[in-house]
């Protein structure tokens, strides 16, 4: 079975400071991992994905994440927060190679960016 734990339900940063959103996963198969962002009253937008290639993944809008198998982590980072980054972020796991192709979402981390 696959699962995702987002370690912080709410992260607050000042504009221009680094962002760190933490995610740990559990998977029986080789996982694919994703970060999605959801702005208020909007659908989900893919930020980046890891699918067993390079462990450091670069995404859109300056975000990146590092896959660490030994720590079962996939933390999302950004060097400098922008006001437009304020949104809900979801860490997601999908098991490749198994018969279960569903996405399993974490509970989300609300990012607040203060001026």
Partner 1 sequence: ETGVTQSPTHLIKTRGQQVTLRCSSQSGHNTVSWYQQALGQGPQFIFQYYREEENGRGNFPPRFSGLQFPNYSSELNVNALELDDSALYLCASSLGGAGGDYGYTFGSGTRLTVV
Q: 51, exposed or middle or buried, with CB in 10 Å at 0-12, 13-18, 19+?
A: middle
Region from 17-25, 32-40, 66-74, 78-86 binding partner 1, contact rule CB under 8 A: 32-40
Q: Is 7 in the site for partner 1 (CB under 8 A)?
A: no
d(CA 40, CA 25): 26
Q: Is 90 in the site for partner 1 (CB under 8 A)?
A: yes
Q: Is 84 in the site for partner 1 (CB under 8 A)?
A: no
Contacts of 54 (CB under 8 A, 6+ apart): none
Token pair belonging to 63: 């975000």
Q: Is 108 in the site for partner 1 (CB under 8 A)?
A: yes
Judged by DSSP in three states, 83 sits in helix
Q: Is 27 in the site for partner 1 (CB under 8 A)?
A: no
Residues at the interface with partner 1 (CB under 8 A): 32, 34, 36, 42-46, 49, 51, 90, 94-96, 99-108
């Amino acid at each position: 079975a696959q699962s995702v734990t987002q370690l912080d339900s709410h992260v607050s940063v000042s504009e221009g400071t680094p962002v760190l959103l933490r995610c740990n996963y559990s998977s029986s198969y080789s996982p694919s991992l994703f970060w999605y962002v959801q702005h208020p009253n909007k659908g989900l937008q893919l930020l980046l994905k890891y699918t067993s290639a390079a462990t450091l993944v670069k995404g859109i809008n300056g975000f990146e994440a590092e896959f660490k198998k030994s720590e079962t982590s996939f933390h999302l980072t950004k060097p400098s927060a922008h006001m437009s980054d304020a949104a809900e972020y979801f860490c997601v796991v999908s098991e490749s190679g198994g018969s279960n192709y569903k996405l399993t979402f974490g509970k989300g981390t609300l990012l607040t960016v203060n001026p």
